[in-house]
Structure 1
Amino acid sequence: METLEEVELCFPQLLNTSCKRPNRSHFEVIMSYIILSSITVLTVTLNLLVIISISHFKQLHTPTNLLLLSLAVSDFFVGLLMFFQIMLIDGCWYLGDLLCVLYLFFAYIIISTSVGNMVLICANRYVAICHPLHYSTKVTQKRVQVCVSLCWIFSVSFQILVLKDNFEQPGSAISCTGECVAVSNNITELAHLVFFFIGPVTVIIVLYMRVFVVAVSQARAMRSHIVAVTLQGSVKVNVKKSEIKAARTLGVVVVVFLICFCPYYIVVLSAPDTLLNASSAAFVICLFYFNSCLNPVIYAFFYPWFRKCLKLIVTLEILRPDSCEVNIL
């Protein structure tokens, strides 16, 4: 019986207060370690490459790339926080109540900021495509810096208000030793759902649908204009490819975001108190974090300049004194 307790309990020496480990096969634990570790390494590496590229090369210091930089920074820290998620694979938290609150605090800040950055990127693309003549006056470097700063400030302020009671009394929400949860109420959960899921999803879908409609109408108008002066057959093929590419790109962004975020919030709403320890929640948390790994692929790898920056970084040519002046575009 003693051996069984040592296997099942997070802290075998605390027989009456320790949390129980979830029953998982050795294969499941090993695969979880491999998958989470791979996602962590990819997330940190890819976002670090984006950060280095945009920060180093002066030609990339534009309002649009500043938004990509902010997104990459938040996603980079998401990757670092996943090291703590790896520790929770066996369902036990060993670092104490205060570090648990700090972990949740920084996790909520970084993830919510990442969502906010995605909304800003959508808004930027909306103005660029739907109001191209006013883009240079509406979207300036200074305004983008202000928006990015407000995004981070709002995330930090919101999470301080939400987790204030947890900082005052760390561990007040746990039911057993080895658990990592935070005190919450219906109001804060509703506010979190509205500000960081329903609101962003609605804005992203509305903006991208508007962008898609305008892009398609512009492509059709261009086709009508070019048909009068060139071969109709070749133009049809080019325009058709352009429309398909626009639809695919916008569809991937929206679908990936929804696939990664919806399951997490469903679990949060259905069982918020057992999110970090429940076996069924492990997958949705990994999926939620995996979105930060996909962001640099979606937003940066589609740009030709990133592939050129990647080559310069890998070959260590960025170490040259004049490398920041290299023509990237």
Structure 2
Amino acid sequence: METHEEAELCFPELLNTSCLKPVVSQTEALVYHILLFTFSPLTVVLNLMVIISVAHFRQLHTPTNLLLLSLAVSDLLVGLVLMPVEILRKITCWFLVDSMCSLYLFLAWFSVSTSVGDMVLISVDRYVAICDPLHYTNKVTVKRVKVCICLCWFCSGCYCFVILNDNLTHPGKHRTCQGECVSHMYFFSGIIDLVATFILPVSAIFALYMSVFVVAVSQARAMRSHITSITAQRSGKAVANKSELKAARSLGVLVVVFLICFCPFYIVSLTGNSFIPLLAFCMTFVMYLNSCVNPLIYSLFYPWFRKAVRLIFTLQILQSDSCDYTMV
């Protein structure tokens, strides 16, 4: 393995201010390249499938699917920009201008905050669907969900601009040498971010899904105990409730995987171990990996997604009436 003495400068013409090029072994370089050329393209392709599916087929224009569409857009951003840049930062210098570094940091925080916001909205959607099913169609409409999604993205953008204001208004202020891209956050800002993007959202998601779980269990017991004496009208309602319960379970898996991927990053940050470069990279990449896993969850639990992917790859969506196909 190379030593720091053997490492080259990022900018040889800047002898006194240039950073050293990252020193990685051949094994480490191989691992980074595998991550770069496997997970990044896979994340982009899978999330494009979700975006095209929900956007193209009219039957999929439901409130819940619009929330999945919003999540897929933020996940696409992760696969398209954040994953490759995070990996390249480990194996090479930052050769772009400081303003591009600030833009990358903003996109990284923006993607995470919108994903968290989408997960909270998904949890609220399932809470209303299970706990107040009679009023779900009136309370959760496509128009209201679109407004909530727009507010989520707008508020996330404003929040990230405030948190990263110093990095955005003074690009390169906190770097120690030419060739690195680093973010700086004051202690108070870090506490605010921890509460706003981790503690409060996770607490809300946990509380909402615990309520969903309790109601789902009671509904399942009620359906089992009255299945033989139920009327035709109530039978239809039972089928509807069963469908909502199935959707709740599917989206529950999505939320659990989200927490598994995001919690390690914030736990490491909370314990102060984020200054260990390799550990920080691993936790960040695991968090980004959630963007690749989400579409895989859809493929396991949603028949409409599998059908949509088949129609996309067979180019049947190019037919004039394809947007009206029956998907569910």
The 5-angstrom pairing of residues 1-329 of structure 1 reads 5=5, 7=7, 9-81=9-81, 82-90=83-91, 92-226=93-227, 249=250, 252-270=253-271, 274=275, 278-299=277-298, 301-329=300-328
How far did 1:300 drift? 5.6
CA drift at 1:20? 3.7
Partners in 1 of 2:6 and 2:22 — Cα distance?
Answer: 13
Q: 1:310 to 1:8 in 2, by over 3 A?
A: same
**What percentage of residue pairs aligned between the two structures are identical?**
57
Matched residues, number: 313
- Tell me the CA shift for residue 163 of structure 1: 2.0
Query: 2:201 and 2:299 mapped to 1: Cα distance?
Result: 21
Q: After alignment, is 174-183 or 39-48 more displaced?
A: 174-183
Compared with structure 1, are the counterparts of its residues 158 and 11 closer, same or farther at alpha carbon in structure 2 (3 Å cutoff)? Answer: same
Conserved in 2, the CA contact under 8 Å of 1:166 and 1:183?
Answer: yes
Deviation at 1:203, TM superposition (A): 1.4
The alignment partner of 2:176 has SS state of: coil
CA contact (8 A) 2:116 2:197 kept: yes
Contact 1:128–1:135 (8 Å) recurs in 2:
yes
Deviations 1:1-45 (A, max 9, x none): xx9645254344444333345543211121122023311111111
Instruction: Structure 1 unaligned segments of length 5 or more: list them.
Output: 230-241
Question: Post-superposition shift, 1:167?
Answer: 2.4
Is the CA contact (8 Å cut-off) linking 1:33 and 1:89 kept in structure 2? Answer: no
TM-score for the superposition, normalised by structure 1: 0.86
RMSD: 2.6
Do the aligned partners of 1:75 and 1:293 also contact (CA within 8 Å) in 2?
yes
Which amino acid is the alignment partner of residue 88 of structure 2? M
Which residues of structure 2 form unaligned runs of 5+?
231-242
Cα drift, residue 274 of structure 1: 4.6
Question: C-alpha separation between the residues in 2 aligned to 1:251 and 1:69?
Answer: 17
Range 220-229 or range 318-327, more displaced: 220-229
The answer as to whether partners of 2:22 and 2:93 remain within 8 angstroms in 1 is: no
Matched position secondary structure for 1:19: coil
Residues 7 and 22 of structure 2 are in contact (CA less than 8 Å); yes or no, is this contact kept in structure 1? no
Go from structure 1 to structure 2 and tell me whether the alpha carbon gap of 1:327 and 1:247 turns closer, same or farther (over 3 Å shift). closer
Shift of 1:183: 2.8
The one-letter code sitting in structure 1 at the alignment partner of 2:33 is Y
Specify the code of the residue in structure 2 equivalent to 1:265.
Answer: Y
